[in-house]
């Protein structure tokens, strides 16, 4: 089924009933009537999210063979597998909106779909694995805990499960960070360097500032988003600053200061030019990431063919039994 449907005038009574359900805090389920724009917004957001989970395996997968101990290797393999599960789970959720997964994957592979900017940065040292768990999974939890209250039932339910696993990921990351931060001077320097490189890209994960976010107003009105990009970014900063202090690491922002009145940690200016370059495909690793996904997709063709052949065989034998 194709994602682009012909725009038809929608029955105002149906639209009004839908808006009333949203206002009453009801959950919208796959078989319920929904405006086409609501459906398209969800397909956009959920497919980008699923792609992010899948591409997000690559930076960390890069360190599985070089994890410093068996224990670290086991937990990293488990984390990367969890991200694959999240991706597949969210693709399934997206399919409840009448799109085909192969169409969405095709958009990722041909470079027309977006995925999170954060995964276009390289993992240069083992400390990056700790900092990704701490910052990137930490940011994902802040964002997704709120999405667990999204008005679309399958997405909200997926987020509840995903967040439980992300919590473990964040803890394994912060534990790696705290061990390195309390280690030798070289280990401390390595983890500080990782913090310096990942801090600003992590803040960009929350998307453009509210004034430059074309989708936020509509998504808030439909209760898909419950908080704006800037609100969630600020929450992440407020949670993370004390965690950095606890392990004596410095966040690379000379303008950061605590505002006693709002109780917020005010932060400096984000480099939106860098963000825009990355989401347009010009980040440090965009090409490498898509090349890796295309290679994996091509090498997995035989599995998809075998599964389709088996499904066809099953259908044929069921039809023969029924005849
Ligand atoms: N990267 O109008 P808005 C994870 C795009 S999962 C790339 O503000 P919206 C787990 C945006 O799509 C991380 N593109 O958009 C993990 C839109 O483009 P479009 C992913 C971005 O939807 C951890 C345009 O800019 N999480 O990390 C980004 O209202 C560790 C205008 O933006 C999700 O996807 C960006 N950072 O708000 C895995 C959560 N930000 O489509 C492995 C679900 C914005 O109009 C290891 N998504 N854009 O062409 C969301 O919450 C929202 O979609 C936002 C963006 C907040 C990402």
Q: What is the pLDDT of residues 22-52, one digit of tens each?
A: 999 999 999 999 999 999 999 999 999 999 9
Dihedral angle, C-alpha 141, 142, 146, 147, nearest 10 °: -50
Share above pLDDT 70 across residues of the chain, in percent, rounded to a whole number: 98
**Mean local confidence (pLDDT), 121-130:** 98
Give the model's confidence band at 2: pLDDT under 50 very low, under 70 low, under 90 confident, else very high. very low
Contacts of 188 (CB under 8 A, 6+ apart): 180, 181, 182
Give the model's confidence band at 1: pLDDT under 50 very low, under 70 low, under 90 confident, else very high. very low
Please tell me if the CB atom of residue 12 comes closer than 6 angstroms to any atom of ligand 1: no
Q: What is the mean pLDDT of the chain?
A: 96
Q: Are 262 and 208 in contact (CB under 8 A)?
A: no
Please tell me if the CB atom of residue 83 comes closer than 6 angstroms to any atom of ligand 1: yes
Query: Is residue 6 predicted with pLDDT exceeding 60?
Result: no
Q: Strand 257-259 relative to strand 264-266: parallel, antiparallel, unpaired? A: antiparallel
Sign, CA torsion 266/272/276/278: negative
Domains of the chain (ranges; CATH) run: 12-284 (1.20.1260.10)
CA distances in angstroms from 320 to 222, 306, 311, 312, 323, listed in the order given: 47, 21, 14, 12, 5
Contacts of 67 (CB under 8 A, 6+ apart): 73, 76, 126, 129
Please tell me if the CB atom of residue 46 comes closer than 6 angstroms to any atom of ligand 1: no
**Mean local confidence (pLDDT), 283-312:** 97
Q: How far apart are CA 152 and CA 172, in angstroms?
A: 31
**Mean local confidence (pLDDT), 289-311:** 97
pLDDT at 8: 67
Q: Which atom of ligand 1 is nearest to the CA of 41?
A: 22
Please tell me if the CB atom of residue 216 comes closer than 6 angstroms to any atom of ligand 1: yes
Q: How far apart are CA 204 and CA 39, in angstroms?
A: 26
Q: Are 284 and 120 in contact (CB under 8 A)?
A: yes
Please tell me if the CB atom of residue 82 comes closer than 6 angstroms to any atom of ligand 1: no
Q: What is the per-residue pLDDT across 211-253, written as a single tens digit (0 to 9) for each?
A: 999 999 999 999 999 999 999 999 999 999 999 999 999 999 9
Instruction: Choose the residue to mutate in 48, 50, 131, 210 for probing ligand 1, maximizing ligand atoms within 8 Å of C-beta.
Output: 48
Q: Are 98 and 2 in contact (CB under 8 A)?
A: no
Beta bridge partners of 257: 266
Distance 180 CA to ligand 1 centre (A): 30
Distance 132 CA to ligand 1 centre (A): 17
Beta bridge partners of 266: 257
Q: Are 176 and 190 in contact (CB under 8 A)?
A: no
pLDDT at 205: 98
Q: How far apart are CA 132 and CA 81, in angstroms?
A: 15
Please tell me if the CB atom of residue 53 comes closer than 6 angstroms to any atom of ligand 1: yes
Query: Is residue 3 predicted with pLDDT exceeding 50?
Result: no
Give the model's confidence band at 5: pLDDT under 50 very low, under 70 low, under 90 confident, else very high. low
């Amino acid at each position: 089924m194709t994602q682009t449907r012909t725009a038809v005038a929608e029955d105002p009574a149906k639209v009004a009933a839908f808006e009333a359900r949203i206002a009453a805090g009801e959950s919208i389920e796959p078989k319920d009537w929904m405006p086409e724009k609501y459906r398209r917004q969800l397909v956009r957001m959920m497919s980008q999210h699923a792609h992010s989970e899948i591409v997000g395996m690559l930076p960390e997968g890069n360190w599985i063979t070089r994890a410093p101990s068996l224990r670290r290797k086991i937990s990293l393999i488990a984390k990367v597998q969890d991200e694959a599960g999240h991706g597949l789970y969210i693709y399934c959720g997206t399919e409840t909106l009448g799109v085909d997964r192969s169409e969405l994957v095709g958009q990722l592979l041909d470079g027309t779909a977006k995925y999170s900017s954060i995964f276009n940065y390289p993992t240069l040292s083992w400390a990056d694995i700790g900092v990704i768990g701490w910052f990137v999974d930490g940011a994902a939890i802040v964002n997704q805990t709120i999405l667990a209250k999204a008005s679309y039932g399958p997405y909200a339910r997926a987020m509840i499960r995903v967040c439980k696993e992300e919590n473990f990921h964040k803890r394994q990351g912060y534990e790696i960070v705290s061990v390195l931060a309390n280690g030798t001077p070289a280990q401390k320097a390595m983890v500080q360097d990782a913090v310096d490189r990942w801090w600003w890209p992590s803040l960009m994960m929350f998307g453009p500032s509210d004034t430059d976010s074309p989708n936020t107003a509509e998504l808030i009105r439909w209760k898909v988003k419950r908080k704006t990009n800037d609100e969630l970014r600020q929450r992440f900063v407020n949670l993370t600053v004390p965690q950095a202090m606890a392990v004596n690491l410095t966040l690379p922002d000379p303008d950061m200061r605590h505002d006693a009145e709002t109780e917020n940690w005010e932060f400096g200016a984000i480099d939106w030019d860098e963000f825009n370059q990355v989401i347009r495909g010009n980040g440090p690793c965009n090409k490498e990431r898509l090349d890796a996904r295309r290679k994996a997709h091509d090498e997995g063709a035989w599995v998809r063919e075998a599964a389709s052949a088996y499904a066809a065989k099953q259908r044929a034998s069921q039809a023969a039994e029924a005849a």
